[in-house]
């Protein structure tokens, strides 16, 4: 078993059965130290009956040991899991905040989540993380701020227009409708649906347009969403349009004539002879390109050049729980995060 695969299967291999044993294992060698830190994430979430532990289930001595691990462990996965455990426990806020400056991007991304739990009012520290050079950190910061209604309309608009990461733009699109006035939100999301190179971003824009439900939103869904090159975006747009019109998707007729006849390629009618939607050319730049000019009428500069590095596991965040290497199955309940790619699902 390689070390990389071994890391993915770390959960379930705790080096001790009780908290005291796990705490002692934090002073051990790798991978024991890493596995102990991960097991303490579960312990922090389980609660305990010991009078020396708080309601989250970690004794003070364990919190101190985890904080020391965050500061001194050489292995970044160990530091990440230790930060996560402290966040779940709601303890050691100063240590968690300091981890925002960790040299490893996934530790920083986890620190954003942990800080949002330990110090929910730390909006300025979270806002500073929006300038991180890794997209997982920026995405987590945006989600944490938006869920606390602390992101602000202009921050969401700026990230939607110009952030080079599809993952960040996706969540900016998700939270935009509740943060700006309806007409402006429709203009922005319609532009995103028409032009953003990320299929996850376009799908989220379609969802938002369906929720807004104005005539212009429905027009954008019909014009761009139902003709998108991505199957998932088209399906999302169809559901959004049906929701806006108050009909079942199977009864939806964007052309207004009550029919849903297939065109020559077997899909929806050819709508002007253009052929099947999948034949449309892809926008330049590919998956990691910044969006093109997204104009809400205020004059928007082109998006910046994309930053590198943003692929692979995305760490946990305040929305759904995409587990990084070492974690088991992710818990769900909110939209799954992206890996930064435009896979045109």
- Inform me whether the pLDDT recorded for 174 exceeds 70: yes
Domain count along the chain: 2
Instruction: Return the higher-pLDDT residue of 336 and 80.
Output: 80
- Inform me whether the pLDDT recorded for 218 exceeds 70: yes
pLDDT band at 290 (very low <50, low <70, confident <90, very high): very low
pLDDT band at 120 (very low <50, low <70, confident <90, very high): confident
Alpha helices of 90-181 — where are they, by DSSP H? 93-98, 105-118, 123-128, 135-147, 153-162, 166-175
Does a structural domain hold residue 146? no
Q: Are residues 164 and 226 in the same domain?
A: yes
Does a structural domain hold residue 120? yes
Q: Are residues 44 and 8 in the same domain?
A: yes
Q: Are residues 125 and 204 in the same domain?
A: no
Measured distance CA(171)–CA(136) in Å, rounded: 11
Q: Are residues 67 and 14 in the same domain?
A: yes
- Inform me whether the pLDDT recorded for 180 exceeds 70: yes
Does a structural domain hold residue 305? no
The pLDDT, as a whole number, for residue 173 is: 98
Q: Are residues 1 and 100 in the same domain?
A: yes
Q: Are residues 126 and 160 in the same domain?
A: no
The pLDDT, as a whole number, for residue 54 is: 52
- Inform me whether the pLDDT recorded for 102 exceeds 90: yes
- Inform me whether the pLDDT recorded for 321 exceeds 70: no
Does a structural domain hold residue 323? no
Query: Residue 202 burial (CB < 10 Å; 0-12/13-18/19+)?
Result: buried
Does a structural domain hold residue 162? yes
Does a structural domain hold residue 292? no
The pLDDT, as a whole number, for residue 190 is: 98
- We report the CATH number of the domain holding residue 76 as 1.25.10.10
The pLDDT, as a whole number, for residue 10 is: 54
pLDDT band at 301 (very low <50, low <70, confident <90, very high): very low
Instruction: Return the higher-pLDDT residue of 4 and 105.
Output: 105
How large is the average pLDDT for residues 69-84? 97
pLDDT band at 249 (very low <50, low <70, confident <90, very high): confident
For the stretch 231-246, pLDDT in tens is 999 999 999 999 999 9
Task: Among 254, 276, 295, give the residue marking a domain's end.
Answer: 254
Q: Residue 247 is part of which domain span?
A: 152-254
Q: Are residues 75 and 198 in the same domain?
A: no
- Inform me whether the pLDDT recorded for 56 exceeds 60: no
Q: Are residues 20 and 87 in the same domain?
A: yes
Does a structural domain hold residue 263? no
Name residues whose C-beta falls within 8 Å of residue 294's C-beta, 6 or more positions apart in sequence. 160, 161, 188, 191, 192, 195, 196, 300, 303
Does a structural domain hold residue 283? no
Alpha helices of 221-280 — where are they, by DSSP H? 231-245
Q: Are residues 101 and 174 in the same domain?
A: no
- Inform me whether the pLDDT recorded for 326 exceeds 90: no
Measured distance CA(122)–CA(118) in Å, rounded: 9
285: its two tokens: 């730049």
Q: Are residues 65 and 96 in the same domain?
A: yes
Q: What is the mean pLDDT of the chain?
A: 77
Task: Among 230, 254, 278, give the residue marking a domain's end.
Answer: 254
Name residues whose C-beta falls within 8 Å of residue 289's C-beta, 6 or more positions apart in sequence. 164, 197, 283, 306
Q: Are residues 120 and 184 in the same domain?
A: no
How large is the average pLDDT for residues 38-60? 73
Q: Are residues 184 and 230 in the same domain?
A: yes
Task: Among 211, 229, 254, give the residue marking a domain's end.
Answer: 254
Quote the pTM value: 0.72
């Amino acid at each position: 078993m390689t070390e990389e695969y071994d890391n993915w299967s770390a959960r379930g291999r705790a080096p001790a059965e009780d908290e005291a044993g796990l705490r002692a294992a934090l002073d051990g060698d790798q991978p024991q130290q890493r596995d102990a830190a991960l097991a303490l994430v579960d312990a922090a979430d389980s609660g305990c009956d010991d009078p020396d532990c708080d309601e989250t289930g970690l004794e003070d001595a364990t919190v101190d040991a985890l904080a020391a691990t965050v500061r001194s462990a050489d292995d970044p996965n160990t530091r990440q899991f230790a930060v996560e455990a402290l966040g779940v426990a709601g303890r050691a806020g100063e240590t968690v905040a300091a981890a925002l400056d960790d040299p490893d991007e996934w530790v920083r991304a986890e620190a954003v989540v942990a800080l949002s739990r330990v110090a929910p009012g730390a909006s300025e520290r979270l806002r500073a993380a929006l300038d991180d050079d890794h997209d997982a950190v920026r995405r987590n910061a945006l989600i944490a701020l938006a869920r606390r209604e602390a992101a602000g309309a202009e921050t969401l608009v700026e990230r939607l227009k110009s952030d080079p990461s599809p993952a960040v733009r996706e969540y900016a699109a998700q939270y935009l409708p509740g943060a700006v006035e309806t007409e402006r939100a429709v203009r922005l999301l319609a532009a995103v649906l028409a032009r953003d190179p990320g299929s996850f971003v376009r799908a989220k824009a379609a969802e938002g347009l369906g929720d807004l439900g104005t005539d212009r939103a429905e027009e954008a869904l019909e014009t761009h969403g139902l003709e998108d090159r991505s199957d998932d975006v088209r399906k999302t747009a169809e559901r959004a349009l049906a929701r806006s019109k108050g009909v079942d998707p199977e009864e939806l007729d964007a052309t207004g004539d009550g029919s849903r006849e297939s065109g020559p390629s077997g899909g929806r009618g050819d709508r002007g002879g253009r052929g099947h939607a999948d034949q449309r050319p892809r926008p330049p730049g590919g998956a990691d390109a910044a969006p093109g000019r997204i104009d809400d009428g205020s004059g928007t500069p082109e998006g910046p050049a994309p930053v590198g590095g943003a692929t692979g596991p995305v760490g946990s965040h305040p929305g759904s729980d995409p587990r990084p290497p070492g974690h088991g199955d992710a818990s769900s309940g909110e939209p799954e995060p992206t890996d930064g790619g435009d896979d045109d699902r």
